[in-house]
Amino acid sequence: MPRFLSAKPDAGLIPLPWNLPLEEWPPEHLVALPRGISRHVVRFIRVGDEVYAAKEVIEHLAIREYRLLHDLNRLGTPSVEPAAVIRSRVDRDGNPLDPVLVTRHLQFALPYRSLFTQGVRQNTVNRLVDAMVVLLVRLHLVGFLWGDVSLSNTLFRRDASEFAAHLVDAETGEFHEKLTEGQREHDLQIARVNLFGEFCDLEAGGLLDAALDPTTLVEAIENRYRELWQELTGAEWFDDSEMHRIERRVRRLNALGFDVAELDITTDMEGSSVRIQPKVVDPGHHSRRLLKLTGLDTEENQARRLLNDLDTFRARTGQQGLDEAIVAHEWLTQHFEPVVTAVPEDLRGKREAAQIFHEVLEYRWYRSEEAGHEIPLAEAAQGYVNEVLSSLPDEELNADPVLPGGRELANPYDPSQGFAEDVEEMPLDPWEEAAASEEPAPIGHLDIDALRAKHRRGKDDE
């Protein structure tokens, strides 16, 4: 009988066919969502209204990753939520099957294989690169060594005009008190190799926009990482007449979406020069404030946009003197919610509510520019729904990926298998035959007689 390890169990997972290897699961349980490549068998499974990602992996790795993801969630680091580990699986003949790690599918997620395809704008690429860098920096700030930084292990979500990246695979990750420079460099080195490989793979499959160059992309990621890390953690010296630079640094960090929890300020012996260095920075400067004021849980840039609108609302309604929380409540009920409820039920799977609000504000800005006067929000919302949203693809579940040139995946549930037409007859492999004919010794048993015999043979050969 399979055993479930779960903090928040979903009863819908229990009756699934755990006695079958994931590769053999019937299509009625599966959803073909685009995703990265994986060395394990991974499938998206549908349980009622929920979609989960299921990964078959050996037991100690499954449990370890479940716990790591749990810790990442607890620390508020953008990562998928672990749902369960299913252990003690056996097939119909009683043979053991590897456990399955189940994570909740991130709604409105956009996997990289559908983002860098033909027609992608350089600007979009830069924003994806930035999102990846912010994720890596955030993981490093909490002492998490990823160990397998790659696009395949990342999902992107829209975040106002930017993207936010989320970690989806923590198998090789490790938590440390604080990462050393060597550890961060190691992750960067892995990122360089993996991302270069992934971009080359997209290129080889005709899935990368011809204007994009893997080498340049990888260099951009490394440079942006170093810039951001320096900004968030680097020390800065200045003259004691320039004390405003402390405030300026804090504001710069806020603008990047980080709060400064601890700032180390020291002066030299004469007190004429000052050194500042952020010691603890917390991401989520804007999203935390928005959540506190309105209860809306959004990505960071969405929060920034919504807060800007809230500030504008406050100024326009002449409520600067009033308590911010009261104004926020008014903004929520009179401004935000009417826009969201103006979206018909059947179009709500296309974008998240906060993203819709951001896009309506953008739409209103363009339309107002054209009209030469500001158009009312309700009118903008209606125009956006009719002219923009209705023609956008559904992003809640990014199913049925369209591949260029009408190509088809060999297995719609597994992009690691490549294209359907790439099936070739494989040459004979003497190594495989030798391995198959070898009678393996039982694992864990040290055959000392065989070792002595090998040693003697080695001596004879000399």
Partner 1 sequence: MATVTFRDATRVYPGADHPAVDALNLEIEDGEFMVLVGPSGCGKSTSLRMLAGLEEVTSGSILIGDEDVTEMPPKERDVAMVFQNYALYPHMSVGENMGFALKMQNVPKAEREARVREAAELLGLEDFIDRKPKQLSGGQRQRVAMGRAIVRQPEVFLMDEPLSNLDAKLRVATRTQIAALQTRLGVTTVYVTHDQVEAMTMGDRVAVLREGVLQQVDSPLALYDTPRNIFVAGFFGSPSMNLLRGTVAEDGVHIGRWTVPVARTVLDRAPNESTLTIGIRPEAFGIASGDEGMNMEIALVEELGSDAYLHGRPAGVTGDDIVVARVTTRRPPRIGEKVHLQVDPADIHVFSDATGERIS
Tokens matching residue 240: 């004691």
Helix (H) or strand (E) holding 159: strand 154-159
Kindly provide the residue ranges of all beta strands, DSSP E only, lying in 184-257, ordered along the sequence.
236-239
Closer to partner 1 by Cβ: residue 172 or 382? 172
Is residue 220 involved in binding partner 1 (CB under 8 A)? no
Which 8-state DSSP code applies to residue 327? H
String marking each residue 372-411 x if it binds partner 1 according to CB under 8 A = --------------------------------------x-
Q: In the set 76, 349, 401, 418, which binds partner 1 (CB under 8 A)?
A: 418
Residue 316 CB partners (closer than 8 Å, separation 6+): none
Task: Show contacts with partner 1 in window 40-59 (CB under 8 A).
Answer: 57-58
Shortest reach from residue 70's CB to partner 1, in Å? 20
Q: In the set 68, 168, 202, 389, which binds partner 1 (CB under 8 A)?
A: 202
Q: In the set 8, 74, 92, 178, which binds partner 1 (CB under 8 A)?
A: 178
How many CB atoms lie under 10 A from the CB of residue 311? 14
Would you give the distance in Å from CA 65 to the centre of its chain? 15
Is residue 117 involved in binding partner 1 (CB under 8 A)? no
Amino acid letter, residue 140: H
Amino acid letter, residue 177: E
Task: Show contacts with partner 1 in window 59-88 (CB under 8 A).
Answer: 61
Task: Show contacts with partner 1 in window 339-358 (CB under 8 A).
Answer: none
Rg of the chain over CA atoms, in angstroms?
26
Q: In the set 7, 255, 265, 423, which binds partner 1 (CB under 8 A)?
A: 423
Shortest reach from residue 397's CB to partner 1, in Å? 23
3-state secondary structure of 42: strand
Is residue 94 involved in binding partner 1 (CB under 8 A)? no
Residue 379's alpha-carbon distances to 333, 341, 361, 382, in angstroms, are: 17, 13, 11, 5
Helix-helix angle 122-141:214-233, to 10 degrees: 40
* Count of residues engaged in binding partner 1, rule: CB under 8 A: 65
* Stretch of 191-199, 226-234, 286-294, 345-353 lying at the interface with partner 1 (CB under 8 A): 191-199
For residues 182 and 23, what is the distance between their CA atoms, to the nearest angstrom? 39
For residues 262 and 186, what is the distance between their CA atoms, to the nearest angstrom? 27
Q: In the set 175, 196, 229, 238, which binds partner 1 (CB under 8 A)?
A: 196
For residues 340 and 302, what is the distance between their CA atoms, to the nearest angstrom? 14
Task: Show contacts with partner 1 in window 133-172 (CB under 8 A).
Answer: 147-148, 150, 152, 172
Is residue 427 involved in binding partner 1 (CB under 8 A)? yes
Q: Euclidean distance between the first and final Cα of the chain, in Å?
A: 55
Phi–psi pair at 6, nearest 5 degrees: -160, 140
Shortest reach from residue 235's CB to partner 1, in Å? 19
Closer to partner 1 by Cβ: residue 372 or 406? 406
Q: In the set 190, 220, 340, 388, which binds partner 1 (CB under 8 A)?
A: 190
Task: Show contacts with partner 1 in window 2-41 (CB under 8 A).
Answer: 37-39
Is residue 429 involved in binding partner 1 (CB under 8 A)? yes
Tokens matching residue 356: 């819709």
CB distance 8 to 83 below 8 Å: yes
For residues 430 and 169, what is the distance between their CA atoms, to the nearest angstrom? 35
For residues 26 and 246, what is the distance between their CA atoms, to the nearest angstrom? 60
For residues 291 and 7, what is the distance between their CA atoms, to the nearest angstrom? 25
Closer to partner 1 by Cβ: residue 257 or 415? 415
Is residue 186 involved in binding partner 1 (CB under 8 A)? yes
Is residue 264 involved in binding partner 1 (CB under 8 A)? no
Give me the residues that bind partner 1 (CB under 8 A), please. Answer: 37-39, 57-58, 61, 98, 147-148, 150, 152, 172, 177-178, 180-183, 185-186, 189-190, 192-194, 196-198, 200-202, 204-205, 207, 214-215, 218, 410, 415-419, 422-424, 426-432, 435, 438, 440-441, 443-446, 448, 451-452, 455
